[in-house]
Amino acid sequence: MQGEEETFMINVDINTGREQLEMTVFGYEDLKEKPNHELVFKVILDGVDLTTVTNKGGESWYQVEGLLDRESIDKIGGAIEKHYL
């Protein structure tokens, strides 16, 4: 079950040396996580689910679904953080 969603765009350079990729992000509360509902972000690239990430506090981002490397997860997480600044 999901709570209210927010949709926004981010641009991320996950392929070093290549141009940034524009990704759609759906942010929502994961109501399955009890007792504290977790805010998660589904990231879509060219209509395909790329990853789902969350930040459990602090500066570390965690991949809930997907097969991206640590560096890519951190770059996506950083772009999500910039959206909220």
Specify the pLDDT at position 37. 66
- pLDDT tens across the length of the chain (85 residues): 455 679 999 999 988 788 999 999 999 987 765 566 678 999 999 999 999 999 877 778 999 999 999 999 999 999 999 998 7
Q: Which residues are bridge partners to 61 per DSSP? A: 55
Summarised one tens digit per residue, pLDDT across range 3-17 is 567 999 999 998 878
Query: Chain-centre distance of CA 18, in angstroms?
Result: 20
Q: How far apart are CA 75 and CA 13, in angstroms?
A: 8
Query: Beta-carbon neighbour count of residue 60 at 10 Å?
Result: 12
Helix, strand, coil shares of the chain as percentages rounded to 5? 20, 50, 30
